[in-house]
Structure 1
Amino acid sequence: MPDVRLASPRGKWILFTTVLGSSMALLDSTVVNVALPRIGRDLGTGLAALQWTVNAYMLTLAGLILLGGSLGDRFGRRKVFVIGVVWFAAASLLCGLAPDAGVLIIARALQGIGGALLTPGSLALIQASFAPEDRSRAVGLWSGFGGVGAAVGPFLGGWLVEGPGWRWVFLLNVPVALVCVPVALRHVPESDAASSGDAGPPGRFDVLGAVLGALALGLVTYALIGARELTPVVIVTAVAGVAAAVAFVYVEHHRADPMLPPDIFASRQFTAVNLVTLCVYAAFGGFFFLTALQLQVVAGYSPLAAGTALLPTTVLMLLFSARSGALADRTGPRLPLTVGPLLCAGAMLLMLRVGRDADYLTDVLPALIVMGAGMVTLVAPLTATVLASVDTARAGLASGINNAAARAAGLIAVAALPLLTGMGPEAYRSPTAFGAAFDKAMPICAGVLVLGSVLAFSLVRRPAPGCRKPECRRHGCLPFPPLEQPRPGTAAGPTAPEAGPAAPEAGPAR
């Protein structure tokens, strides 16, 4: 039984190292967008390479994050967490030293593998180490520090790009890892599913499912990015991506212990909220990818100014997500999940005012405040509804699926939007060309959000009396839905498909 107290020296060290490790992956999810124009200029590359700089990381992270959690349950959460930190740092070093775009993209994919190992492990270590009476506060502090990191990320990215250079966005992870790993090995106790008292032995690894899922995402992404020219290679890749997706569904339906158990979608509420998640995070992925470029390429902002300009959205989430979660407890999830996407859609339409020499106070800030208000309204209730829609024993699995769905949606959006808006390979070098494409992209993103709002209004229902109400109020400030970990004494979440039938940036919430 875990017995570490938060006030003890060991408890503080555990909190420190888990925050430090998860912050590596979190910051790389938020700061890279700001660096893209400088990366493209320094490496002499086109828009497709910039898309892959973002998507290579998201691809391996989304495809392997459920498998990463199960590895920790089987072989030891501290061991897998430390391996993830070392792997992530080594990949970051390769990113920072990359001589060309090809090496950078490969290194970003390797970073995603490290992120898939350390991201679920950081929260799992807290759940497995702290005494039950301190666990909730420890998770709250872990998430709160993560929210601060998310808020600081774009500013830090802009400062690094404008100061020592974009390579330090990645190289900064190396000294962080050099601190994190020794502290973890000295102060964090080892645990696995058996030692934590989780019910049942871990199932077999669904490696085939993980490979097919990642392969389908990768092939479809490649086809979308390359579809400006319908070459035979692009057509074959698209067909192969669809075939891999069909094979993934077939395998998951016929395995005894699948990574993505089909019966979890027997919960109509769970299915509905994941459909809303796909719409919402596809729009968010496209918005933040393109806005960081728009502010620099078209509005003429420096990297530091562009990063600082994005702060209000995350700060609003950090300040008010708790109240949003409390309000959703009273009203039910349908109202916030309907209104939140509409507010975000309005913010994206307001971004159409951001053009050449845009004034921050009158053109940019109003859109970002509305965007923050929409995300405050939406994100915490979305997480709570996902977790409340399944049995408690499956909370970890449900949040892992929701997290992967959000990342996959952002991945597809970053690949598809330049194609849908006619953005050419050199568009990010031309204010006129990029501005025209941006003006087409924002209504598309707004339309996807409206679709999410309609789905929420039509399909999401208030949970029945007596249903579990997860404590998601404090943790809605991160850029992706959370990874819920099972409490000791319950069936393993992300790694226990044998649990009973179904009844949300880096981000963590409960």
Structure 2
Amino acid sequence: MGSNPACPTTGGNPISAEDLLTLSNVFRVFPADGPSSAPWRVFLSTALGSYLVTANISTMNVAFPGLEASFADASRGTLTWVLNSYTIAFAALLIPAGNLADRFGRRQLFWAGLTVFGCASIVIGAAPNLIVVIGARTLQGIGGALVTPSSLGLLLAATPSSDRTRTVAKWGAITALGIATGPSLGALIIDATNWRWAFLILPAACLAAYGCGKGHLPDTTINKHLPFPDGWGALLLAASMALIAFSIVQIRPWGVSFGVQTAFILGLLIFVVVILRSRNHGAPAVPLKLFRIRTFLWANIATLIQSFSLSASLLVNILWLTGGWEYSIAMAGLATTASPLLVAILAPVAGRYGSYLGIRRFAIPGALAWGIGHLLYVILITDRPSWLFIWLPVSLLIAVGVATTFPLVSAAALVDVGPSDYAVAGAVLQVARQFGATIGVASLISLVGNSAELGAYKAAWLVIAISGGVSAITLIFVGDTRR
């Protein structure tokens, strides 16, 4: 569970009841005056909101081939903005959204996030052109950023202290389930209808979350004396990510041209401006003080590398299965479901043992495992489909590597962070994850291009394999996390 910013871990173990009491203050959310009359409704409302945000990310991968068919004139590089517009908006606004929730109320922000998310989904489903889809996906990312920091804080406030550990564990499991089930459920919907219905059904789920929580979500303490978040810093961070991603995507059609170089350098300069603004702002877009902590710094670097490769590999794999092996979208979704399910099963076990044996003992071999797994794709995959004897066993090896890497690295980032900084540290980790995913999708899709040739996909898998080794080296510098 350590991978969720709203559910930090200490040394890889789920936070204790005592830690959760501290976390209530971290969120500036205090326990409800008494147990909720319908705690299951509060749980269902907040968990469903988080599930929608995570499932939507993984569903986009199986929707991508349908988008290609609908917008045949657009290159794959252009279509990556359907994914990256969401992750950029989500990453840039996640930290400011937590501050806004503290100022105006978590329940209000939760409802606002669901409303924005649901309305944007309708626009995507009815979009007449690609520009509208990309714009609405940006709004979806904004909605997701509003929902994420609010949901667990509301759940903590409505749950008696004696039940909080168990409740948070269930909430984290439902959230993780979104990643695991998003591809298969999305693929079934798309195969039965089309990609638009994968979005048009989301407002109904948002209404269900609202219906479950209406009249039951608790009031939370509002602190109007908090400094306003650095809105300009958040916008500049989004602009920096967008320019860097744009420069990478345009390398294939433009080459390393003046325009590509200008966009990349401008993106870096804007990021420097964000860092400079964050040095003196009361509620900065990037809280620099946390990066003085060695474990936090190197764990974030490792997270960025891992997200660069593995987030993009999800899309690359779907494109190969549907384009190279000519699977239907439903078959491709089902073919990629076993791996995330195994991750969901193994991650808690890895977290438990990693806490007292040392995170590096698991995470370094784990990074090498998913790197070797992708190297096996390069060596073994041919134009002839072989899901049972090649794809499945290799994907399960990759899943073991991911399960022993991602959650443990998230835990390592928080080992030396003070309790008062748990929430913001977890949010920064999510920003690193989304930033890595944005650059990864741009890079690997630029590498693959519009090709259906196996050689292009093997080049992408080789890059991912190499990044596994780089990630393993990075994890050496995290240090000993046993406390």
Give me the TM-score of the superposition, normalised by structure 1: 0.85
Quick check: 1:380 aligned with 2:407?
yes
Q: Counterpart of 2:480?
A: 462
Quick check: 1:37 aligned with 2:61?
no
Q: Counterpart of 1:168?
A: 197
User: Match of 1:400, as an amino acid?
Assistant: A
Preserved contact between residue 296 and residue 303 of structure 1 (Cα < 8 Å):
yes
Q: Counterpart of 1:204?
A: 228
Q: Counterpart of 2:218?
A: 189
Name the count of aligned residue pairs.
Answer: 450
1:399-414 → structure 2 map (5 Å cutoff): 399-414=426-441
CA distance in 2, matches of 1:227, 1:351: 25
CA distance in 2, matches of 1:35, 1:354: 23
Q: Secondary structure in 2 aligned to 1:187?
A: coil
Q: Counterpart of 1:308?
A: 334
Pairwise CA distance, 1:10: 1.9
CA distance in 2, matches of 1:257, 1:10: 36
Q: Counterpart of 1:18?
A: 46
1:26-175 → structure 2 map (5 Å cutoff): 26-44=54-72, 45-175=74-204
User: Match of 2:156, as an amino acid?
Assistant: Q
User: Match of 2:461, as an amino acid?
Assistant: M
CA distance in 1, matches of 2:33, 2:208: 21
CA distance in 2, matches of 1:332, 1:5: 40
CA distance in 2, matches of 1:188, 1:210: 29
Q: Counterpart of 1:490?
A: none
Q: Please tell me the root mean square deviation across aligned C-alpha atoms, in Å.
A: 1.8
CA distance in 2, matches of 1:413, 1:271: 20
Q: Residues 154 and 418 from structure 1, CA distance in 2 versus in 1: closer, same or farther, beyond 3 angstroms?
A: closer
CA distance in 2, matches of 1:298, 1:96: 27
User: Match of 1:224, as an amino acid?
Assistant: I
Quick check: 1:440 aligned with 2:466?
no
User: Match of 2:325, as an amino acid?
Assistant: A
Quick check: 1:282 aligned with 2:308?
yes
Measured against aligned partners, the alpha-carbon deviations of 1:255-289 in whole angstroms (never above 9, x if no partner) come to 24423222211111111111111111111112112
Q: Counterpart of 2:6?
A: none
CA distance in 2, matches of 1:287, 1:161: 21
Preserved contact between residue 32 and residue 218 of structure 2 (Cα < 8 Å):
no
Pairwise CA distance, 1:26: 1.1
Moved more, 350-359 or 444-453: 350-359
Pairwise CA distance, 1:214: 0.9
Measured against aligned partners, the alpha-carbon deviations of 1:431-456 in whole angstroms (never above 9, x if no partner) come to 32xx2211101111111121110111
Measured against aligned partners, the alpha-carbon deviations of 1:24-50 in whole angstroms (never above 9, x if no partner) come to 111111111111111111222221232
User: Match of 1:150, as an amino acid?
Assistant: I
Measured against aligned partners, the alpha-carbon deviations of 1:330-349 in whole angstroms (never above 9, x if no partner) come to 21112112111101101111
Pairwise CA distance, 1:380: 2.3
Q: Secondary structure in 2 aligned to 1:191?
A: coil
Preserved contact between residue 298 and residue 355 of structure 1 (Cα < 8 Å):
no
Q: Counterpart of 2:359?
A: 333
Quick check: 1:418 aligned with 2:448?
no
Quick check: 1:450 aligned with 2:474?
no
CA distance in 1, matches of 2:392, 2:211: 42
CA distance in 2, matches of 1:289, 1:235: 26
Candidates 239, 251, 269, aligned match of 1:215:
239
CA distance in 1, matches of 2:360, 2:181: 31
Candidates 276, 295, 318, aligned match of 1:269:
295
Q: Residues 380 and 155 from structure 1, CA distance in 2 versus in 1: closer, same or farther, beyond 3 angstroms?
A: same
Q: Residues 5 and 323 from structure 1, CA distance in 2 versus in 1: closer, same or farther, beyond 3 angstroms?
A: farther
Candidates 285, 302, 321, aligned match of 2:347:
321
Q: Residues 364 and 206 from structure 1, CA distance in 2 versus in 1: closer, same or farther, beyond 3 angstroms?
A: same
CA distance in 1, matches of 2:138, 2:281: 28
Preserved contact between residue 295 and residue 415 of structure 2 (Cα < 8 Å):
no
User: Match of 1:446, as an amino acid?
Assistant: A
User: Match of 2:234, as an amino acid?
Assistant: A
Structure 2, unmatched stretches of 5+, are 1-29
Q: Secondary structure in 1 aligned to 2:333?
A: helix
Q: Residues 5 and 456 from structure 1, CA distance in 2 versus in 1: closer, same or farther, beyond 3 angstroms?
A: farther
Quick check: 1:227 aligned with 2:251?
yes
1:485-504 → structure 2 map (5 Å cutoff): none
Q: Counterpart of 1:468?
A: none
Measured against aligned partners, the alpha-carbon deviations of 1:296-323 in whole angstroms (never above 9, x if no partner) come to 1001111111111111111112222221
Q: Residues 185 and 274 from structure 1, CA distance in 2 versus in 1: closer, same or farther, beyond 3 angstroms?
A: same
Q: Residues 49 and 454 from structure 1, CA distance in 2 versus in 1: closer, same or farther, beyond 3 angstroms?
A: same
CA distance in 2, matches of 1:344, 1:144: 23
Q: Counterpart of 1:360?
A: 387
User: Match of 1:365, as an amino acid?
Assistant: L
User: Match of 1:221, as an amino acid?
Assistant: A
Q: Secondary structure in 2 aligned to 1:301?
A: coil
Moved more, 377-386 or 151-160: 377-386
Pairwise CA distance, 1:189: 1.3
Structure 1, unmatched stretches of 5+, are 195-199, 466-510
CA distance in 2, matches of 1:356, 1:366: 18
Preserved contact between residue 4 and residue 11 of structure 1 (Cα < 8 Å):
no
Measured against aligned partners, the alpha-carbon deviations of 1:226-277 in whole angstroms (never above 9, x if no partner) come to 2220455434322321221111111112324423222211111111111111
Candidates 268, 274, 278, aligned match of 1:242:
268
Measured against aligned partners, the alpha-carbon deviations of 1:392-421 in whole angstroms (never above 9, x if no partner) come to 1111111110111011101001111233x3
Q: Counterpart of 1:469?
A: none
Q: Counterpart of 1:504?
A: none
Q: Secondary structure in 1 aligned to 2:38?
A: helix
CA distance in 1, matches of 2:362, 2:319: 30
Q: Counterpart of 1:391?
A: 418
Preserved contact between residue 274 and residue 286 of structure 2 (Cα < 8 Å):
no
Identity fraction in percent: 27
Preserved contact between residue 78 and residue 184 of structure 1 (Cα < 8 Å):
no
Give me the TM-score of the superposition, normalised by structure 2: 0.89
Q: Secondary structure in 1 aligned to 2:392?
A: helix
